[in-house]
Amino acid sequence: MTEVSSLTGRLLVAAPALTDPNFDRAVVLLLDHDEEGSLGVVLNRPTPVGVGDILASWAGLTGEPDVVFQGGPVSLDSALGVAVIPGDEGPLGWRRVHGAIGLVDLETPPELLGPALGSLRIFAGYAGWGPGQLEGELNESAWYVVESEPGDVSSPRPERLWRAVLRRQRSELAMIATYPDDPSLN
């Protein structure tokens, strides 16, 4: 078995040719990546469901838009909290994933975490890959792997995140940001 280099904390940006509707123009933050598989959340799929409708105690702590995001096609009935907490030490109920980005234990009383939160997003479901599955998709050029920035988690305009992440790259990837939604119309 080959060694897997961890991509935890990085972004997977869907290539325009990726045809899976769950990941069309998706930006996925990888929360875990090792030889046992990968887990992430789609950062740019807001739903019309308000956070207050399902997790009222957390509603006042999320940024705009104050809605639940569809984190991926797996376990849509479960919720994950992803927060940016500046500084070296995070509070009880938060586990660092990469840099200032971490997972929130949604069973923790929000008042314990609230003062420390830089931003918070709630995701219904997640994106998951079994052992070697993501590496296969990367070999097929289905995804671009790029560095994440803390602001990606809390982008106030998630519908523009795919283009924004590509545009900031200092390579030919920046040109992909101009790829039309429907190339057949060209």
Return d(Cα 170, Cα 45) in angstroms, integer.
Answer: 25
pLDDT of 1 over the 50 cut: no
- Reported as a single tens digit per residue, the pLDDT across 15-50 is 998 989 999 999 999 999 999 999 999 999 999 999
Range picked from 16-20, 123-127, 172-176 for highest mean pLDDT: 123-127
pLDDT of 103 over the 90 cut: yes
When pLDDT is cut at 50, 70 and 90, the band that residue 114 belongs to is confident
Beta bridge partners of 83: 102, 120
- Reported as a single tens digit per residue, the pLDDT across 56-86 is 999 989 989 999 999 999 999 999 999 999 8
Beta bridge partners of 67: 50
**Tokens found for residue 96:** 């660092």
Do 55 and 106 meet the contact criterion of CB atoms below 8 Å apart? Answer: yes
Percent of the chain, pLDDT > 70? Answer: 95
The per-residue pLDDT of the chain, averaged, comes to 91
pLDDT of 2 over the 60 cut: no
Tell me the average pLDDT across 116-121: 90
pLDDT at 4: 52
pLDDT at 150: 84
Percent of the chain, pLDDT > 90? Answer: 76
When pLDDT is cut at 50, 70 and 90, the band that residue 87 belongs to is confident
Return d(Cα 93, Cα 169) in angstroms, integer.
Answer: 33
Beta bridge partners of 82: 103, 121
